[in-house]
Amino acid sequence: MEFLRWPVIALYLGTPVFLVYWWVRLAKLGSGRRLWPMPVALVLWLVQVAVLLYFIAIGMSGHFRPTPLEEHGPVVLLIAAYAGIGWMLWLSRNRMDG
């Protein structure tokens, strides 16, 4: 699993950079296009970052006895956030084409 560390970190930290790049690209392409999917995608990324940092902080405190929901919640949240980000990118791509 060690070999997955750097690609996962690059994907995780590269996501907001890509979202801002895509947002700027959409803004340059058209006048009057709705750009709402991009801020929504950034908010999804920020929400899952906040929850993951919260779980890391309480895990480091040493007083964390996770329930199954607390144990698997951050992973489910991460997957759901990336699915939502993908959906927002898909919506913005459709707006760009049509």
pLDDT tens digits for range 48-68: 889 888 888 877 887 777 788
Counting Cα atoms < 13 Å in the Cβ hemisphere of 63 gives: 3
Q: Please measure the distance between the N-terminal and C-terminal CA atoms of the chain and give it in whole angstroms.
A: 42
Is residue 91 exposed (0-12), middle (13-18) or buried (19+ Cβ within 10 Å)? middle
pTM for this predicted structure: 0.80
pLDDT at 57: 83
Query: If pLDDT is split at 50, 70 and 90, which confidence band does 86 have?
Result: very high
Alpha-carbon distance of 43 to 18, in angstroms, equals: 14
